[in-house]
Amino acid sequence: MFNLFAKKHKYLNCPHLKSSIHFFYYGIKTCCANAEGINFYKDYNGEKIDWDYVYKVRQDKIEEINSAKQADYIPLECKKCFEINGNLSDKKIEKFENKIQRLYFQNNMSCNAQCSYCTFEREVGKGTKYNTVPIIKSLIENNILSENAVALMSGGEITISDEFEELMDILLSFLKSKIEILTNGIIYSKSIEKAFVLNRCTLIISLDSGTRETYKAIKKVDCFDKVINNISNYIKMSESAKENITLKYILVDDINDNIQEINSFFNIVNSLGIKNVRIDVDFNKYTLNSNTKVPNKYFDLISYFNNIASNLGLGVEHCNQVDVILKKNKK
């Protein structure tokens, strides 16, 4: 007899699984979510990549998902992903071509700051085990990289990588889309300057403060004035930088989690003319799988932050993971 109350079948139509490649410090996989993700090369050291093999790994995993009997089958590697619910669909995953639509660079885990909230501070294997320039050239030569692919670069600190400038030149020459870079802004980059002039770049800078003292307490380096000066110089070279730079404020317990520092942060935002801001929480402490509760005052501070941004006519955003963490903690 047909069960009217049977759970409707859901399939994991994940765009990362179908067309993303993530250059991580220990290897190459599909995504950078807070889950393991599907690995192509678990321990990669720069050897030649077999793109047919990479495509087959995707196809095999998708066949596994499409053939599953469970109503909402999730691969083990994806279980902890905060994007799961948004990628579940009533339809099976359709056939897809061997094209990369998203690049994520996170293979360099070295940094020129020592942020208290760094999620990789306890990870082994920091530094760069392999370069991505040969890989990107291979993708282009094999007609696998889409000209409209999204490129997201982070770290560690991506701008201290020896290949950063060359990598940027290749991406700017080939891609039609903007390149998104997460950085601490300590190093002034000529390739980023060029990207702003071409209106081909968005920069997310974790300032996390409005004063030099608070910056030093969080970052463990005395570079507050240098970062502000670098931002000013980007803006001098191109007015588009005001629209394309987002200043981020990560709430850190007992350091910048107060109204006074938030006010000072917005004073800096106003003085620079920056149009977009972002507020997040400490991912090292507050994660989806942690029992550590987000402090109640965080909700008030985030609301305060959002209201100031709105009153100033600024764009304001949260990382998707932050929204999920806050929703889990809200009473």
Instruction: Please give the average per-residue pLDDT across 24-34, as a whole number.
Output: 84
Number of domains into which the chain is organized: 1
Which structure tokens are listed for 241?
A: 């930088």
The string of pLDDT tens digits covering residues 210-242 is 999 999 999 999 999 999 999 999 999 999 999
pLDDT tier at 156, thresholds 50, 70, 90 = confident
pLDDT tier at 127, thresholds 50, 70, 90 = low
Measured between alpha carbons, how far is 7 from 103 in angstroms, rounded to an integer? Answer: 35
Report the range out of 98-112, 170-184, 315-329 with the highest average pLDDT: 170-184
Q: Domain for residue 112, yes or no?
A: yes
Q: Domain for residue 82, yes or no?
A: no
Instruction: Please give the average per-residue pLDDT across 9-34, as a whole number.
Output: 89
Q: Domain for residue 46, yes or no?
A: no
Look up the CATH number of the domain holding residue 181.
3.20.20.70
Q: Domain for residue 13, yes or no?
A: no
Instruction: Please give the average per-residue pLDDT across 73-82, as a whole number.
Output: 86
Position 124 pLDDT exceeds 60: no
Instruction: Please give the average per-residue pLDDT across 144-148, as a whole number.
Output: 97
Measured between alpha carbons, how far is 289 from 31 in angstroms, rounded to an integer? Answer: 18
Q: Domain for residue 323, yes or no?
A: yes
What pLDDT was estimated at residue 289? 66
Position 122 pLDDT exceeds 50: no
Position 328 pLDDT exceeds 50: yes
Position 5 pLDDT exceeds 60: no
Q: Domain for residue 181, yes or no?
A: yes
Q: What is the mean pLDDT of the chain?
A: 90
What pLDDT was estimated at residue 126? 56
pLDDT tier at 34, thresholds 50, 70, 90 = low
What pLDDT was estimated at residue 320? 67
pLDDT tier at 3, thresholds 50, 70, 90 = low
Q: Domain for residue 308, yes or no?
A: yes
What pLDDT was estimated at residue 192? 97
Q: Domain for residue 275, yes or no?
A: yes
The candidate with the shortest Cα–Cα distance to 187, out of 208, 162, 214, 212, is 162
**Reduced to 3 states, what is the DSSP secondary structure of residue 189?**
coil
Residues 6+ apart with CB under 8 A from 300: none
The number of CA neighbours under 13 Å toward the Cβ of 227 is 28
Amino acid at 256: N
- The residue segments making up the domain with residue 170 are 99-329
The string of pLDDT tens digits covering residues 254-310 is 999 999 999 999 999 999 999 999 999 887 787 666 777 888 898 899 999 999 999
What pLDDT was estimated at residue 110? 86
Position 25 pLDDT exceeds 90: no
